[in-house]
Chain A
């Protein structure tokens, strides 16, 4: 017990030193703009009236496919299920040539190795949830260990959850330090920070969490685990995109965005892309900086692409469900 504490203490001290050296500091909440929910909803309504047609629709839909983090995060996940999903990730719909692969698959740490092996040579990345996903209700050591395990098994990306309880208590330092520590444990893996915005209750909190995560070193900020309703919504995503923009203005560093959960139609996904395009611009329109966390979106997009290519809708039975 004593030894454990000692290790932890030295770890925390090392962290502090690193922070001093790298000048990682909590964001200045005094300059964080407030969020007006009515205004956000109005802006979102404007994005949804954009009319996306013909070649721009096709281009958008291919972009969506390439931005998907194909996800399975269930207690009943098996290696067989993960392998099947990985095949789908790299072969979305071979009947139509020229389709991209998805960006990544997203699995639990225990499935990282399976996914990594299954995806060898495809270019599709493996993302692993960690830090006692989805609740985050665990100890610091376990969260670090969880992350290290996933990284050691070959995860290219880590999707961590923040401690919402501590955040709502006002312990922003705790949340900040935790993200810094996980980022450290990630090594070369890119870190996505999940806020579970459905539990943060206000858009002001979403903004605050975004600032904390980005200043703590997040490579991506992500709305939801998909386990709570509401999951990703356009207003929440817009608040996060605007936070990314402000952070970019202030530091020059790009941070990615990943709405997750609840985006299951290509129409909605296209509206998200419009929102990204008109908030952050063209640089963010790639899977390096924007992702959809989704399980059923891909097939709807494929169905639309098939319609666009052949002129007729096809039954959902023509699209594989893996």
Chain B
């Protein structure tokens, strides 16, 4: 028997534990397995997709989009100004009459066609999503693209059943929807926005984020190929100004926005006094709560998935971890070991778990927060992995010894940074979990069903996962409380948000 006699006191329990360490820097390392990108066609320059065709922007200006993993320029996209936005809205308005009067069955056919085309071109979408946004190919291949296609499939099914979805309420489309989406799930967010809007009979003007416009433009090509009537979907690119022009355009009936809380607040101010309908899906700082009776190894996996999925660029990321004190030592130890096995690097490599941070600006923000955490006295831990020399990369990071008063606990970082606190009683953890301006999501880990239901009714969060985390499904509504926004996307609720009764 090999036994280790050296012991070390555990931090929380004070138990004497043998000083042993698992070694993950194995001599057996995986050879690079990069996804092939040769089959993908990306144009040198993209115009605006208005009224079923690509047109030059009024400003004649273009801006570059970069691969955040290599800093290389991938393509140039048009910068839409107010005139372009107006053109797009006019096209959408012109198309609205016919499209909304088309039978639900016919509308459904078009949406199904988009879904199937997306499945056919799944590989191309996945590769471009990874090149443009930095997320690992494993995620864009296994999650983003299939889920986006599923959203189209799901809402296609509702198109001819609106009367059944909302019986005796005479559902009618709203008109033209202005949709502004973020850079963390470019294609998926486009699907979340476009699919229910079309199923309900609306026409749309969609603006992808300026750092990740390519999959939305590829979607525009796909929509053109699908034969969808001209003007039903218009996709225009640009930065904040373009978004503002959409929000302020007088002929838009609904604004759907996913992004930061600050911009969400600004949108609400801008549309105050108008009859524009609005759904906002904003920031979050979710509590992921681990009880002592939880399946601990699976909970650790849930912590990893909760905060390091998509480099932490997830509004519902489980960025605040609460561990019951009796299991805190063992959970943190397991978490540290699991972090050692994460592979950070080339997003195109099929074995990469954590890819590139979306932009230099975001990387700087995350690094600033890491410094804030250190200066506040948080105990930082990062695994021993090495980062690529080029591109925007950040090590997965956890902070121990923090409290509700720490800024890294209060503010949304939107990166792979986790703040860990411990708790003793249920009352304590509920109070702390709710003690935040956000209320988008939460996670509960316990073996006891009644405890789950007790917490789900007391946590102020729009989505609560039990014994899992970051699970998305087209049939399930998603959205927040408090400063995380209002309105729901997904499921029947998401459909209802594009209808008037």
Contacts and interface: CB of A to CB of B under 8 A. Distances in A.
Contacts of B330: 246, 249
A252 B447 contact: no
Given A249-B17, A252-B18, A252-B20, A36 B295 contact: yes
B447 to A, nearest CB: 4
Contact of A50 (B1, B30, B293): B30
B3 interface: yes
A36 B35 CA distance: 33
Contacts of A43: 297-298, 301
From A36, A40, A278, A283, name the one whose CB has the most chain B CB atoms within 10 angstroms: A36
B137 to A, nearest CB: 10
A26 interface: no
B2 to A, nearest CB: 6
A39 B301 contact: yes
Interface stretch (A12-20, A53-61, A89-97, A150-158): A53-61
Contacts of A246: 330
A30 B399 CA distance: 29
Contacts of B337: 245, 281
Interface in B320-352: 330, 333, 337, 341, 350-351
A22 to B, nearest CB: 10
Contacts of B295: 33-36, 39
A254 B2 CA distance: 7
B210 to A, nearest CB: 32
Contact of A38 (B22, B27, B333, B468): B468
Contacts of A49: 138, 142, 350
A37 to B, nearest CB: 9
Contacts of A38: 298, 467-468
B467 A277 contact: no
B30 A52 contact: yes
B368 to A, nearest CB: 32
Contacts of A54: 31
A39 B18 contact: no
* Interface size range on B against A: 35 or more
A285 interface: yes
A64 to B, nearest CB: 11
B44 interface: no
Contacts of A59: 28
B298 A51 contact: no
B294 A250 contact: no
Given A34-B447, A50-B30, A54-B31, A278 B351 contact: no
Contacts of A55: 31
Contacts of A51: 30, 33, 350-351
A54 B468 CA distance: 35
A252 B4 contact: yes
A278 B341 CA distance: 6
A42 interface: yes
A259 B17 CA distance: 29
B304 to A, nearest CB: 10
Interface in B451-493: 467-468
Interface string B15-33: 0011110111111111111
B446 to A, nearest CB: 9
A39 B446 CA distance: 13
B301 A249 contact: no
Interface string A167-203: 0000000000000000000000000000000000000
Contacts of B447: 34, 36
Contacts of B302: 39
A245 B22 contact: yes
Would you list the 9 A-B pairs with minimal beta carbon distance, nearest first?
A39-B298, A252-B18, A252-B4, A51-B33, A36-B295, A282-B26, A281-B22, A33-B296, A51-B350
